[in-house]
């Protein structure tokens, strides 16, 4: 009986994990903070699609723009990551101190990816 209960619990957990997948949503279903961020920084750009990764604990949102920029937000709408093929990340997004270091050491490089962690920032250059 104990084995059957463990097997049933395992199957239920596995089916829930397998069900958690990216699904398309509309721009209006993004958290308000993410909508404001996109409107402030990418107001003239067309959005290709928006998806949500409905995780058990917290959903994460991904927005892909028509110009190839990919944005990731947490469940509260806080920016987690930006990727850009052409290095056209708006300068106001990345903190000034980071941009000063980048331009001081790599004046010809473009920022193609910017990721925000809990206590860290990561920048990838062209």
C-alpha neighbours within 13 Å on the C-beta side of residue 69:
18
What local confidence, expressed as pLDDT, does residue 44 receive? 84
What are the start-end ranges of the H helices in 1-126?
2-19, 32-41, 96-105
pLDDT digits (tens, 9 = 90+) for 63-114: 998 888 999 999 999 999 999 887 778 778 889 998 899 899 999 888 889 9
CB neighbourhood size of 30 (10 A): 21
Which among 113, 24, 123, 31 has a CA at the least distance from the CA of 68?
113
Give the span between the Cα atoms of 121 and 73, in whole angstroms. Answer: 15
Instruction: Kindly tell me if the per-residue pLDDT of 117 is higher than 60.
Output: yes
What local confidence, expressed as pLDDT, does residue 12 receive? 60
What local confidence, expressed as pLDDT, does residue 71 receive? 93
pLDDT digits (tens, 9 = 90+) for 27-76: 888 999 999 999 999 888 898 889 998 876 788 999 998 888 999 999 99
What local confidence, expressed as pLDDT, does residue 5 receive? 56
Residues in the chain: 126
Give the span between the Cα atoms of 82 and 17, in whole angstroms. Answer: 26
What local confidence, expressed as pLDDT, does residue 6 receive? 63
Which among 76, 106, 79 has a CA at the least distance from the CA of 92?
79
């Amino acid at each position: 009986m104990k084995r059957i209960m463990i097997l049933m619990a395992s199957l239920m957990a596995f089916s829930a994990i397998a069900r958690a997948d990216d699904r398309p949503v509309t721009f209006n279903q993004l958290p308000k903070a993410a909508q404001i961020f996109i409107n402030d920084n990418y107001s003239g750009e067309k959005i290709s699609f928006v998806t949500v990764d409905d995780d058990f604990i917290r959903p994460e949102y991904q927005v892909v723009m028509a110009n190839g920029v990919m944005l990731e937000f947490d469940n509260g709408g806080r920016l987690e990551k930006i990727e850009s093929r052409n290095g056209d990340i708006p300068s106001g997004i990345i903190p000034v101190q980071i941009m000063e270091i980048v331009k001081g050491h790599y004046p010809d490089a473009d920022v193609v990816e910017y990721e925000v962690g809990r206590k860290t920032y990561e920048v990838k250059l062209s």
